[in-house]
Amino acid sequence: MDLWYTEKQTQAFGITAKVRETLVAKTTEFQHLAVLDTEEFGRMLVLDGMVQTTVRDEFVYHEMITHPAMLTHPNPRKVAVIGGGDGGAIREILKHDSVERAVLVEIDGEVIAASKKYLPEISSGLEDPRVEVLVADGLQHVREHKAAYDVILVDSTEPVGAAIGLFSEEFYRDLYEALTPQGVLAAQTESPFFNQGIIAKSFRGISGAFPCTRLMLTSIPTYPSGLWSFTLGSKSNDPLTVALDKAQVLSTRYYSASVHKAAFQLPPFVESLIRG
Ligand code: AG3
């Protein structure tokens, strides 16, 4: 029997993957959680019906949410990931020798457990001694930590359910306060085809809190429309002009110094979303 999984990315458009096996399908305290083994993209983590990551294309997202922000800081020692329970961003953070402590603040412990069990290639970094895993509310954690982190990555789901607050102006101001003087924020900010309002609003919110705000684009085949954005907020260094020598020593498959520079070049229809 053929089994196919469809994510309805909008009311009228979706993505469909042929499924070899359903490894997990359950409702946690916070959301519906599934891990599917798909034929084309390998194992896939799905939360509330939305594809979060797949073994085959996760490197693009996790490298791009992590390295541009990490290289924008001259010496990132303490780093936090808000959300990101699959551990992919943590794995990338640990590639930077300067890192002494990486804190994962994930609200749903079952996402961490399922990722450890079924997505070892993505979650492996969670066992590293530099990593502290907290099953906690990221909003509260950020509010309660002042000048505590050099880099914070907001590796959230879409702004629905528990993640709504992670796209608010108040949260962006709290992130600013939680960062050290040269601190850098990177947040995933959705698709310029399907989520234009979110890009505009998060860019406005981050610009309201940070002196330097930059939008980046990346191609991620399993995400809505395949074109995805991240927004960086930086307290003192501009991600566009920062030195990228350290990019050479990172072992990456998508990120490089030239990809870093290219990612900030925006087509006019995307530029117009943030210059309104
Ligand atoms: N977080 C962003 C996924 C959003 C995808 N949206 C969707 N499929 N409708 C990914 C977390 C990976 N660590």
Tell me how far the alpha carbon of residue 26 lies from the centroid of ligand 1, in angstroms: 18
Distance 117 CA to ligand 1 centre (A): 19
Residue 202's closest CA among 162, 230, 180, 239? 230
CA distances from 116 to 2, 20, 119, 133, 152 (A): 28, 20, 6, 12, 22
Cβ of residue 92 lying under 6 Å from some atom of ligand 1? no
Question: How far apart are the C-alpha atoms of 142 and 123, rounded to whole Å?
Answer: 23
Q: Domain-by-domain residue ranges, the chain?
A: 3-53, 58-275
Is pLDDT above 70 for 276?
Answer: no
Q: How far is the CA of 157 from the centre of ligand 1 (A)?
A: 5
- Catalytic site includes residue 155: yes
Nearest to 94 by CA among 274, 233, 251, 218: 251
Residues 6+ apart with CB under 8 A from 118: 23, 24, 35, 43
Between the alpha carbon of residue 58 and those of residues 84, 135, 172, 195, the distances in Å are 12, 22, 25, 20
Q: Among the atoms of ligand 1, which is closest to the Cα of residue 223? A: 8
Amino acid at 192: P
Q: What is the pLDDT of residue 74?
A: 98
* 64-94 pLDDT per residue, tens: 999 999 999 999 999 999 999 999 999 999 9
CATH class of 58-275: alpha beta
DSSP codes, 241-276:
TS--GGGGGS--SS--HHHHHHHT---HHHHHHH--
- Give the ligand 1 atom nearest the CA of 84: 13
- Report pLDDT digits (tens) over 22-39: 999 999 999 999 999 999
Q: Is residue 224 in contact with ligand 1, taking CB distance under 6 Å? A: yes
Long-range CB contact pairs, 258-261, < 8 A, 24+? 260/67, 260/68, 260/71
Mutate to test the pocket of ligand 1, among 47, 59, 91, 158 (most ligand atoms within 8 A of CB): 158
Catalytic-labelled residue, pool 86, 108, 155, 174: 155
Residue with the smallest CA separation from ligand 1 atom 2 is 157
Average pLDDT, the chain: 97
CATH architecture of 3-53: Roll (2.30)
Atom number, ligand 1, closest to the C-alpha of residue 85: 13
Ligand 1: centre distance to CA 230 (Å) = 12
Per-residue pLDDT tens digits for 213-256: 999 999 999 999 999 999 999 999 999 999 999 999 999 999 99
* Two domains, one topology: 3-53 and 58-275: no
45 Cβ below 6 A of ligand 1: no
Supply the residue whose CA is at minimum distance from atom 13 of ligand 1. Answer: 84
How far does CA 253 lie from the centroid of its chain? Answer: 17
Give dist(CA 205, CA 216) in Å, integer. Answer: 16
Using the Cα atoms of residue 218, residue 179, residue 47 and residue 44 in order, give the sign of their dihedral: positive
**Span 164-174, mean pLDDT?**
95
Atom of ligand 1 nearest to the CA of 88: 13
pLDDT at site 2: 94
